[in-house]
């Protein structure tokens, strides 16, 4: 019972080309959340402030994923 | 003395201590009160009062969450009849209608006397207090009470009509109905995204998860009632799990560490959700809880569950051999980043919020969601197995008010599934 790593996770990330494209999708979602956060922060009102805070739920882990993607690319270049 | 939500929450705690039965209901009532969802708190209290009609605390809570002053008075009177001289009940009966309405909403009546007569109830349309009975949801206490317009007589029947069932503005009804429909759509959407990821196109599936994540955030913050908002915050973790597990470049690392690399950022998200929802750790099962023998027994079931799932999935081992040197680290990672983390997310955060947002269907919804996130194994048998185990864990977490036992069971299931049984010769 592991919902984080399933067979489809394994088969996806072990295919190099596929792994690259799904990483890009992760970064795209991160960008959308960051734009949303910027917009909601600029608008007055408690609901928008609440949205701005809620977006951190997704931004924080996806930012870590982004850093790992960048580091892995750098490692590939160095090799 | 101003009776604010804090006071109501204190009363709920007192009533809970007096009656260990109906614990789940008390939790839901406390949550609803803390979120100023008086209509929901009142609806739940009506069920409680039907079961425990001789508890004065229940009647006091019912009074402060009542939709009308006359209904509140009848509840205060019932509390006083059960506990003659109870100071809170006496206080309540001494208030005027305006006092009650203002205190119920955490205002100071002395400072606000003569102010606007429209009292907003959080998450609901304004309730006009100057014309009692007009346009208000009513708490009717049987035909006798209905016949007494002043509402001064004690109810002759214990059968109540919940304000949730009484006439409500159409917009509010639609909003509540809409919330349930959205939850079903989110579940179907996540299931569809998982199926697409597993069978058709991982990129498309991931885009669907990303879209759902954005939608859930928008809905939670801009469109949901307070109780629903918390549940949506926790629900956002579901598409996030898949986004994280697929977008992190795991190939650079050994398979053993994958769970930790995905789990650590997810744990950060779960902590952010915990802070946003305002739940205390014990409210999401981060406590020893009660019934430790039961929790121990449940933890041991992990061995059997691991064997059963091994028979279904037959996975490759995560370690080179069954020696202690090879398995201690993977075992620890599985225990923490699958056992504890997943139980914290599903049976802790999500279930806690679901029990308030959708009280009767909460465990079922969470178990279905848990099973849906296992579609990636591409096994119908495993889907059914995980759903049943998830439901079992849900019931245990509710019963024990802790995720300790289920976390150990979940961790042991994965340890035996990936580290023990693959090395054991099986028929």
Look at B268 and A64 and tell me if their CB atoms are within 8 Å. Answer: yes
Of B51-55, B61-65, B88-92, B170-174, least confident by mean pLDDT is B170-174
3-state secondary structure chain A: CCCCCCHHHHHHHCCHHHHHHHHHHHHHHHHHHHHHHHHHHHCCCHHHHHHHHHCHHHHHHHHHHHHHHHHHHHHHHHC
What is the predicted ipTM?
Answer: 0.93
Q: B100 pLDDT band (50/70/90 cuts)?
A: low
Q: Is B330 helix (H, G, I), strand (E, B) or coil?
A: helix
Q: Who's near B147: CB < 8 A, 6+ residues apart?
A: none
Average pLDDT over residues B87-100: 72
Give contacts of B386 with chain A, Cβ < 8 Å. Answer: 1
Give the per-residue pLDDT at B421: 92
Look at B247 and A25 and tell me if their CB atoms are within 8 Å. Answer: yes
Give the per-residue pLDDT at B269: 97
pLDDT tens readout for residues B368-393: 999 999 999 999 999 999 999 999 99
Kindly tell me if the per-residue pLDDT of B16 is higher than 60.
Answer: no
Average pLDDT over residues B224-253: 89
Closest to B37 measured CA to CA, from B339, B398, B353: B353
Give the per-residue pLDDT at B123: 37
Give contacts of A37 with chain B, Cβ < 8 Å. Answer: none
Give contacts of A8 with chain B, Cβ < 8 Å. Answer: 197-198, 202, 376-378
**C-alpha to C-alpha distance for B74 and B157, rounded to whole angstroms:** 12
Look at B261 and A62 and tell me if their CB atoms are within 8 Å. Answer: no
Look at A26 and B206 and tell me if their CB atoms are within 8 Å. Answer: yes
Give contacts of A6 with chain B, Cβ < 8 Å. Answer: 198, 245, 373-377
Instruction: Tell me the torsion sign for CA atoms B238, B375, B322, B304.
Output: positive
Kindly tell me if the per-residue pLDDT of B59 is higher than 90.
Answer: no
Average pLDDT over residues A29-57: 92
> What is the average pLDDT value for chain B, to the nearest integer?
78
pLDDT tens readout for residues B279-297: 999 999 999 988 899 999 9
Look at B203 and A18 and tell me if their CB atoms are within 8 Å. Answer: yes
Kindly tell me if the per-residue pLDDT of B173 is higher than 70.
Answer: no
């Amino acid at each position: 019972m592991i919902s984080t790593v399933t067979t489809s996770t394994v088969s996806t990330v072990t295919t190099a080309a596929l792994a690259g494209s799904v990483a890009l999708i992760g970064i795209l979602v991160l960008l959308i959340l960051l734009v949303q956060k910027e917009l909601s922060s600029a608008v007055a009102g408690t609901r928008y402030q609440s949205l701005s805070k809620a977006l951190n739920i997704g931004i924080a882990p996806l930012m870590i994923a982004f850093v790992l993607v960048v580091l892995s690319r750098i490692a590939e270049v160095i090799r | 003395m101003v009776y604010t939500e804090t006071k109501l929450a204190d009363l709920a705690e007192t009533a809970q201590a007096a009656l260990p039965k109906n614990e789940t209901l008390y939790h839901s009532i406390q949550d609803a009160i803390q979120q100023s969802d008086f209509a929901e708190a009142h609806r739940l209290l009506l069920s409680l009062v039907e079961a425990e009609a001789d508890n004065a605390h229940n009647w006091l809570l019912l009074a402060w969450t009542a939709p009308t002053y006359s209904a509140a008075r009848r509840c205060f009177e019932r509390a006083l009849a059960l506990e003659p001289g109870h100071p809170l009940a006496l206080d309540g009966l001494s208030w005027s209608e305006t006092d009650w309405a203002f205190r119920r909403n955490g205002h100071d009546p002395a400072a606000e006397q003569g102010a606007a007569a429209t009292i907003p109830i959080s998450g609901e349309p304004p309730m006009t207090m100057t014309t009692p009975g007009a346009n208000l949801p009513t708490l009717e206490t049987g035909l006798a009470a209905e016949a007494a317009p002043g509402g001064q007589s004690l109810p002759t029947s214990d059968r109540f009509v919940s304000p949730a069932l009484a006439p409500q503005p159409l917009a509010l009804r639609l909003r509540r109905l809409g919330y349930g429909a959205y939850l079903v759509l989110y579940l179907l959407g996540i299931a569809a995204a998982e199926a697409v990821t597993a069978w058709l196109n991982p990129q498309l599936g991931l885009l669907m998860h990303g879209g759902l994540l954005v939608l859930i955030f928008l809905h939670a913050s801009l469109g949901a009632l307070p109780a629903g908002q918390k549940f949506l915050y926790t629900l956002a973790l579901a598409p996030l799990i898949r986004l994280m597990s697929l977008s992190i470049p795991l190939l650079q690392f050994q398979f053993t560490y994958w769970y930790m690399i995905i789990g650590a950022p997810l744990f950060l998200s779960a902590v952010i959700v915990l802070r946003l929802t305002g739940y205390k750790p014990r409210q999401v099962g981060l406590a020893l809880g009660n019934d430790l023998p039961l929790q121990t027994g449940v933890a041991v079931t992990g061995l059997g569950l691991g064997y059963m799932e091994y028979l279904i999935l037959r996975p490759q081992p995560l370690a080179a051999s069954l020696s202690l040197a090879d398995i201690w680290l993977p075992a620890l990672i599985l225990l923490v980043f699958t056992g504890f983390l997943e139980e914290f997310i599903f049976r802790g955060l999500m279930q806690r919020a679901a029990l308030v947002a959708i009280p009767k269907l909460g465990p079922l919804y969470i178990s279905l969601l848990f099973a849906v996130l296992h579609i990636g194994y591409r096994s119908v048998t495993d889907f059914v197995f995980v759903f049943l185990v998830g439901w079992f864990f849900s019931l245990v977490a509710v019963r024990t008010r802790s995720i300790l036992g289920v976390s150990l069971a979940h961790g042991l299931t994965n340890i035996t599934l990936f580290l023990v049984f693959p090395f054991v010769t099986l028929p």
